[in-house]
Structure 1
Amino acid sequence: MKKVLLFFLIVFVVIAALSLLTIFKGKLQLGEKVAVVRVSGIILDSTSVIEELKEYSNDRSVKAIVLRVDSPGGGVAPSQEIYEEILKIKEKKKVVVSMGSVAASGGYYISAPADVIVANAGTLTGSIGVIMEIPNVSGLMEKIGVETQVVKSGRHKDMASVFKSLTPEEKEILQTVLDDVHDQFIEAVSEARGMKYEVVKKLSDGRIFTGRMAKELGLVDELGNLEDAIILAGKLAGIKGEPEVVYKEKEFSFIDMLRGEIPNHLVGNVFSGISLKYLLTP
């Protein structure tokens, strides 16, 4: 009987020890990992990217972060928010950018503050500029016999209306706004890359560069693929040997479409008025 009790006691102790080990492993966050955060497609919102960055920033087992950028850019504000978050994370951990096929305009903006930027030789990057697109459907409305009545309290309140053409004065006002946002882009690259403002300004006329060209110009540090960027991040973080790589699986879901979120992004941009973009357009 004593032997049976002793056996069950040993089994209980082993199970309890394994359970405690599992719990404490999560809390202690053992290991030396490199996290990969992906930014793909047009940057419409920064929330999910920032949440993922913060999660890995607070994870003590993650020693460095690789930001995999495959984006032509997008909204100005979301790009700036991701940029600022990376600056905060750099105070705690190393951040390496790995550029995919395209990392242009806003895609380059969010890459600029990284400790090291790694691009493929054929990556399309650069496109440092700002674009504002305002559709004009006044001709169509006139053809189908629809007239828009506007009541406003400010002279320029309907400046970005799709139902009218811009006046010369309105174009001048909007150009002033674009010039200011463009200047913010140049300053951000200059500060993040340690380059003189005038040098960056000469490269900031919206043109694109290959990864190899960008390296020669100082916009990129190294040529290589994602694996090279991960190994480099591990070395910068002081990880010996090949680091363990962690990343979140992102699956395509029709839920967003059912909720109407994707159509709202597409249609909303047409009728939302002024929309500033750090975006590479075809």
Structure 2
Amino acid sequence: MAEKNRKKGGCFRAGCLTLVVGVLLFAGIGVLAHQWGNRLPGRFVLRVPVSGAIDERSPDAASLPFGGTRQTLSLEELLTILDRAKTDKRVDSVLLQIDGLNAPAAKVQELGNSIADLRKSGKKVTALLNTPGDKEYRLAAACDSIIVQKGSWMLLDGLKAELFFFAEPLEKLGVSFQAAQWKKYKSAVESFTRSSASPENLEETNALLDDAWADYLDSVSRQRRVSREAFRSVVDSLAVLTPEKALSLRLVDRVATERELDKEYEERLGKPADELFVEGREYLDATGGMRPQSIGDRIAVVAITGMIVSDGSAEMGDGEATDVATLKQALQTALDDTKVKAIVLRIDSPGGDALAASTMLELLEEAKTKKPIVASMSGVAASGGYMVALAGSKIYAEPMTVTGSIGVFSLKPDFGGLLEKSGIRREVLTRGRFADAYTPFKPFDDASFRKFVETAGTIYDDFIAKVAKGRRMTPAEVDAVAGGRVWSGKRALEVGLIDRIGGLDAAVQEAKKLARMDAKAKPELLYLPVRKTWLEYLLAGDASQLTSALAAGIVRQSLGELQPLANLPGTRTARFLLRTEAPQVLALDPVEVEIK
């Protein structure tokens, strides 16, 4: 038989067998080396870096387990690490190295709550800061003690929101936009149609800024035991502080170099630094990664992150996106798994394609007839991101989650002026009055524009009806808090758009209750869609997918230098709209500003 197979060729040929054995041997050696390197000491300090934007999830095959730069820890991973450390007797204490933090306020709040839970377990949590700003200090205040590195400085200058408008410079290039804005608070179009913010845009942006400012002052004054007025005076009068000045004001607990801190740990625990610290990702890998470890009942956490799209065609580098097929597969996995007793829908999305969001809601409503669903909002769950949350029997959000934005808009570019300036001539032959109406090379006429606006209005009415059904409100009651208005989680609770204030853990507890699981048991979480590791791609024979995943990671890192430009308000909307010729009706968060 073997001889016949050799004659036929295929994988029984000696060369192919050698290759397969070689790949498996290489993989096996890599796994053993990785696992050996991840053996944890009997007692150690858990050192966790917290930096960057803190994505909700880490990307597929973010990096190889050896060599190279590792991806920064995601919010999923950080919450898991801190949760496991609570009951791990090997963890002596936790050192958070907070640097270059650029996360939404709601994610900082959720991390702060997780730190508070860790402290309640008896573990001491120390924050080490290097030239911190307001966001780093806001998170550090949740720890037992704050150490600022000697020789650095602190920039506590308050918060701001920046709005950018491109209509005038674009007009000089011969580019303009027409908008169907339904309704006036749906202000994402303003970056392309106005030279300054509308009163409605300023109203909702100021409301978000007020909430973030109040949260900052209240949390720091409460956790550092200084008066609110005293801390506000520091921000308004000093702004830039030396660590020593901050120490004299009781804003921090110590000033030290990193080496001085290492020596203190060494003396206390009787170990050299290289045997004393375990890094956050190393700890996560050594304790089972993000996969469930037991065979007991579990709760599926199904993530909808980034832009909501219909077909997964978001270009590489545009950031995270969730398409209909991905959600459908994740839900099917959760429904087919008999150990999964409930689903937590975890949303970190500003919305996107209105039809895709509507389709996702339909899939979720169908899944809810089989297993309970609770919605948990992360940094943002607005517009289409809010629409999908309606599937939850209960909706949870952090006080500073950006949500609501119940409305739609469509934006049509007109490059006709650019063609004229460049001398390009366009001739079009049509059959049918509106055949050329949606071209990006001329503006709408009156009849075409009316149809354009009517389409947005029809989808808005459908959105209102979905919210009325999901929240048990009348359409008039929904419209009173809709119209594109954006709410913080705190205000959304007051107007009835969410049910509870709380993070992922609170939503899991609610899901456990709805599924009538053992109240004393702690169910493991199955995160979906499943993120594959490089080894899983390799063993499954998905070499091309592995290559694509790793290439995407390289592109993400390479584009890091361009992030300040890529994240200008309005650029997200522009990239999304310009992927196709025809105008799209979007359920997308209009307040695309960074509060910092």
**Please, what TM-score do these two structures have when normalized by structure 2?**
0.40
- The question of whether the paired residues in 2 share the 8 Å contact of 1:64 and 1:95 is answered with yes
> Structure 1 pair 268/100, CA: closer, same or farther in 2 (3 Å)?
closer
- After superposition, what is the alpha-carbon deviation per residue over 1:24-63, rounded to whole angstroms, capped at 9, x for unaligned? xxxxx96321000111111112110111012102222101
Quote the residue 2:523 is aligned against.
243
- After superposition, what is the alpha-carbon deviation per residue over 1:120-150, rounded to whole angstroms, capped at 9, x for unaligned? 0100000011111111111111000012211
Partner of 2:331, secondary structure, is helix
Structure with larger Rg: 2
Higher mean Cα deviation, 79-88 or 265-274?
Answer: 265-274
- The question of whether the paired residues in 1 share the 8 Å contact of 2:411 and 2:577 is answered with no
Q: 1:53 aligns with which of 331, 346, 353?
A: 331
- The question of whether the paired residues in 1 share the 8 Å contact of 2:380 and 2:403 is answered with yes
Q: Kindly report which structure 2 residues correspond to 1:143-222, keeping only aligned pairs within 5 A, or say none.
A: 143-222=421-500
What one-letter code is carried by the residue in structure 1 that aligns with 2:526? V
Quote the residue 1:76 is aligned against.
354
Provide the C-alpha distance between the structure 1 equivalents of 2:362 and 2:371, rounded to a whole number of angstroms: 14
Provide the C-alpha distance between the structure 2 equivalents of 1:254 and 1:149, rounded to a whole number of angstroms: 44
Quote the residue 2:296 is aligned against.
31
- The question of whether the paired residues in 2 share the 8 Å contact of 1:269 and 1:275 is answered with no
Quote the residue 2:308 is aligned against.
43
Quote the residue 1:26 is aligned against.
none
1:267 Cα deviation (Å)? 7.4
Provide the C-alpha distance between the structure 1 equivalents of 2:330 and 2:579, rounded to a whole number of angstroms: 30
- After superposition, what is the alpha-carbon deviation per residue over 1:56-105, rounded to whole angstroms, capped at 9, x for unaligned? 02222101001110000000111011100111111111101110110000
**1:224 aligned onto 2:533:** no
Provide the C-alpha distance between the structure 1 equivalents of 2:307 and 2:488, rounded to a whole number of angstroms: 19
> Structure 1 pair 268/72, CA: closer, same or farther in 2 (3 Å)?
closer
Provide the C-alpha distance between the structure 2 equivalents of 1:149 and 1:116, rounded to a whole number of angstroms: 55
Provide the C-alpha distance between the structure 2 equivalents of 1:181 and 1:268, rounded to a whole number of angstroms: 17
- The question of whether the paired residues in 2 share the 8 Å contact of 1:122 and 1:211 is answered with yes
Provide the C-alpha distance between the structure 2 equivalents of 1:175 and 1:92, rounded to a whole number of angstroms: 39
1:235 Cα deviation (Å)? 1.4
1:274 Cα deviation (Å)? 2.1
Partner of 2:412, secondary structure, is coil
- After superposition, what is the alpha-carbon deviation per residue over 1:223-272, rounded to whole angstroms, capped at 9, x for unaligned? 001111112111111111221211144379255699xxxxxx94773442
- The question of whether the paired residues in 1 share the 8 Å contact of 2:390 and 2:471 is answered with yes
- The question of whether the paired residues in 2 share the 8 Å contact of 1:83 and 1:113 is answered with yes
Quote the residue 1:253 is aligned against.
549
- The question of whether the paired residues in 2 share the 8 Å contact of 1:129 and 1:185 is answered with yes
> Structure 1 pair 174/268, CA: closer, same or farther in 2 (3 Å)?
closer
- The question of whether the paired residues in 1 share the 8 Å contact of 2:464 and 2:475 is answered with yes
- The question of whether the paired residues in 1 share the 8 Å contact of 2:402 and 2:487 is answered with yes
Quote the residue 1:262 is aligned against.
none
Quote the residue 1:103 is aligned against.
381
- The question of whether the paired residues in 2 share the 8 Å contact of 1:116 and 1:221 is answered with yes
- The question of whether the paired residues in 1 share the 8 Å contact of 2:577 and 2:583 is answered with no
Partner of 1:135, secondary structure, is strand
Provide the C-alpha distance between the structure 1 equivalents of 2:487 and 2:342, rounded to a whole number of angstroms: 28
Matched positions, count: 248
Partner of 1:114, secondary structure, is coil
Provide the C-alpha distance between the structure 2 equivalents of 1:191 and 1:104, rounded to a whole number of angstroms: 18
Q: 1:86 aligns with which of 330, 344, 364?
A: 364
- The question of whether the paired residues in 2 share the 8 Å contact of 1:113 and 1:193 is answered with no
Quote the residue 2:267 is aligned against.
none
Quote the residue 1:276 is aligned against.
585
Provide the C-alpha distance between the structure 2 equivalents of 1:216 and 1:105, rounded to a whole number of angstroms: 18
> Structure 1 pair 267/233, CA: closer, same or farther in 2 (3 Å)?
closer
Quote the residue 1:116 is aligned against.
394
Partner of 2:549, secondary structure, is coil
> Structure 1 pair 236/73, CA: closer, same or farther in 2 (3 Å)?
same
- The question of whether the paired residues in 1 share the 8 Å contact of 2:577 and 2:584 is answered with no
- After superposition, what is the alpha-carbon deviation per residue over 1:171-209, rounded to whole angstroms, capped at 9, x for unaligned? 111111110000010001111111111100112210100
- The question of whether the paired residues in 2 share the 8 Å contact of 1:99 and 1:119 is answered with yes
Partner of 1:253, secondary structure, is helix
- The question of whether the paired residues in 2 share the 8 Å contact of 1:231 and 1:243 is answered with no
Provide the C-alpha distance between the structure 1 equivalents of 2:432 and 2:414, rounded to a whole number of angstroms: 21
What one-letter code is carried by the residue in structure 1 that aligns with 2:549? S
- The question of whether the paired residues in 2 share the 8 Å contact of 1:231 and 1:242 is answered with no
Listed as ranges, the gaps of 5+ residues in structure 1 are: 1-28, 259-264
- The question of whether the paired residues in 2 share the 8 Å contact of 1:31 and 1:62 is answered with no
**Please, what TM-score do these two structures have when normalized by structure 1?**
0.83
Provide the C-alpha distance between the structure 1 equivalents of 2:297 and 2:583, rounded to a whole number of angstroms: 45
Partner of 1:205, secondary structure, is coil
- The question of whether the paired residues in 1 share the 8 Å contact of 2:299 and 2:343 is answered with yes
Provide the C-alpha distance between the structure 1 equivalents of 2:577 and 2:404, rounded to a whole number of angstroms: 27
Quote the residue 1:3 is aligned against.
none
Partner of 2:413, secondary structure, is coil
Quote the residue 2:61 is aligned against.
none
- The question of whether the paired residues in 2 share the 8 Å contact of 1:162 and 1:271 is answered with no
Cα RMSD (Å) of the superposition? 2.1
